[in-house]
Structure 1
Amino acid sequence: MKGRLYLIPTHLGNSNYGLTIPHEVATLAARLRYFIVENIRTARRYLRLLDPKMDIDSSTFFILDKHTNPREYSTFLKPIEEGHDIGIISEAGCPGIADPGADIVKIAHHKGIKVVPMTGPSSILLALMASGMNGQNFAFNGYLPIEKHERIKSIKHLESRSIKEKQTQIFIEAPYRNNTLVKNILDSCHPRTLLCIACNLTLPDEFIVTRPVSSWKNQVPDLHKKPTIFLIQG
């Protein structure tokens, strides 16, 4: 009998995991012995947080990051075919959403493996919930281009799309480029376009504010190296 592939959410940086990770999820994660992770060190630290008594040294970890050869993906699921359950753990939030775990899930479906998503925090959905923007029609666009000209072009395209389709546009940036992205948004969008900045979600210094672009100027917080979600709606 095949095992199952569990998608195990991770907290968004808060050490008090009880605020965002259900007890049942923590209990399940602690009983597994096979994991697919982006970083072994942070995964071990997280599992130890969920259950200090867990025998982590008897666990097997498969690394899934930008350096992993796609030809290895299928081999990560071999324990499932031998009857063992496997958990995918993201670096933050939910596996498979803006996360390489989606590639493993796709293979699991192809192999007829049962995929079980577990409840936990998604910074993307938390930001949308708190933004006051359209939650019935929205699009997550991932990272915008790094090159300035292409990035501004992309921002204007998303703003136009949000107006035509009445669709909330959501995107992210590498934390050390957040401040530059905000400047590009404020310089490129119409003064009446709504911009929501959702930073450090679920943390003590959580910041979630929605204002027209015109109201943001001279009031933007320092977002350098802080995980942030950006949403716009024209």
Structure 2
Amino acid sequence: MAETALYLIPVQLSDGDLSCVLPASNIALVSEIKYFIVENVRSARRFLKKCNRDIDIDSLTFYELNRHTDPRAVSGYLAPLEAGNAMGVISEAGCPAIADPGADVVAIAQRKGLRVKPLVGPSSVLMGLMGSGFNGQSFAFLGYLPIEAGQRARKLKEMERRILKEDQTQIFIETPYRNNSLLAELARVLPASLKLCVATDITGPAERIVTRPVKEWARHQVDLNKVPTIFLLYK
């Protein structure tokens, strides 16, 4: 039986064989948990069925945690854990609490002195960094860049400064349907001295992790529309 803990359960980044990206111990563990805090109930149910088609989904309890969730309700989600039950946290993709609202409930569990147990699994942020050839000792994940043009320009300048002054890799993402416009903008406005790594469909069948000088990206036609992508900058 699963021990009493808040298990942070990674989800595959792309469709495919679960056994290629998740340890067998993870897949076995989810069958023993009856309470889940999830970013999206539908995708969580689909993931659990993929882990074990014999799971009785209707017998499970799901608490949804996303940008629509009332923050006042989140603390109550941990009631089953406080009563001695194992609980799982499931993101839409990748590792819970990394660029994910699951971090909120983990923070509450830590404040309450409850056991938190992260499980091994894929992180697009770390896997993109691993494949980039950039500095893996000092790096920052910035999430989404600002949409407003002036704020975005200031953020890019700040990233450039950190790269040159602090020797720090900068990692960020964009809404998938804006990937192409972001790539074009980066190639147009960033200094030629910087390098840009574009990591797409990590662990998926169309995975590509390519590092080039910024200006070279303008000469390469790459369609990133609606493709999960991580962008990394370094010198």
**TM-score with structure 1 length normalisation?**
0.97
Q: Any stretches of 5+ residues in structure 2 without a counterpart?
A: none
Report SS of the residue matched to 1:92.
coil
Specify the alignment match of 1:45 in structure 2.
Answer: 46
Distance 1:201 1:137, change over 3 A: same
1:32 aligns with 2:33: yes
Letter in 1 for 2:139: F
Report SS of the residue matched to 1:31.
coil
Specify the alignment match of 1:214 in structure 2.
Answer: 215
State whether residues 186 and 213 of structure 1, in contact with CA within 8 Å, keep that contact through their aligned partners in structure 2: yes
Q: 1:3 Cα shift? A: 2.7
Q: How far, CA to CA, are the matches of 1:220 and 1:96 in structure 2?
A: 34
Letter in 2 for 1:174: T
Letter in 1 for 2:133: G
Letter in 2 for 1:227: P
Q: 1:184 Cα shift? A: 1.6
**Percent of pairs identical after alignment?**
51
Specify the alignment match of 2:227 in structure 1.
Answer: 226
The range that moved more, 84-93 or 217-226, is 217-226
Q: How far, CA to CA, are the matches of 2:93 and 2:221 in structure 1?
A: 25
Specify the alignment match of 2:85 in structure 1.
Answer: 84
Report SS of the residue matched to 1:217.
helix
Report SS of the residue matched to 2:154.
helix
Q: 1:154 Cα shift? A: 1.1
Q: How far, CA to CA, are the matches of 1:179 and 1:210 in structure 2?
A: 16
1:164-196: CA deviation from partner (whole Å, max 9, x where unpaired): 101100000110111111122112211121000
| Misfit runs of 4+, over 2 Å | none
Q: How far, CA to CA, are the matches of 2:34 and 2:58 in structure 1?
A: 9
State whether residues 79 and 85 of structure 1, in contact with CA within 8 Å, keep that contact through their aligned partners in structure 2: yes
Q: How far, CA to CA, are the matches of 1:15 and 1:52 in structure 2?
A: 16
The root-mean-square deviation of aligned C-alpha atoms, in Å, is 1.1
1:116-158: CA deviation from partner (whole Å, max 9, x where unpaired): 0000000000000000000011110111001122212211220
Letter in 2 for 1:46: F
Q: How far, CA to CA, are the matches of 2:153 and 2:178 in structure 1?
A: 14
Q: 1:9 Cα shift? A: 0.2
Q: How far, CA to CA, are the matches of 2:107 and 2:221 in structure 1?
A: 40
Q: How far, CA to CA, are the matches of 2:16 and 2:53 in structure 1?
A: 13
Q: How far, CA to CA, are the matches of 1:64 and 1:173 in structure 2?
A: 21
Specify the alignment match of 1:191 in structure 2.
Answer: 192
Note the 1:1-234 alignment, pairs <5 A.
Answer: 3-234=4-235
Report SS of the residue matched to 2:77.
helix
Q: How far, CA to CA, are the matches of 2:160 and 2:230 in structure 1?
A: 16
Q: Any stretches of 5+ residues in structure 1 without a counterpart?
A: none
The range that moved more, 157-166 or 98-107, is 157-166
Report SS of the residue matched to 2:31.
helix
Report SS of the residue matched to 1:88.
strand
Q: How far, CA to CA, are the matches of 2:185 and 2:160 in structure 1?
A: 13
Q: 1:31 Cα shift? A: 1.2
Q: How far, CA to CA, are the matches of 1:223 and 1:148 in structure 2?
A: 21
Q: 1:218 Cα shift? A: 2.1
Report SS of the residue matched to 2:219.
coil
Q: How many residues align?
A: 233
Q: How far, CA to CA, are the matches of 2:31 and 2:196 in structure 1?
A: 40
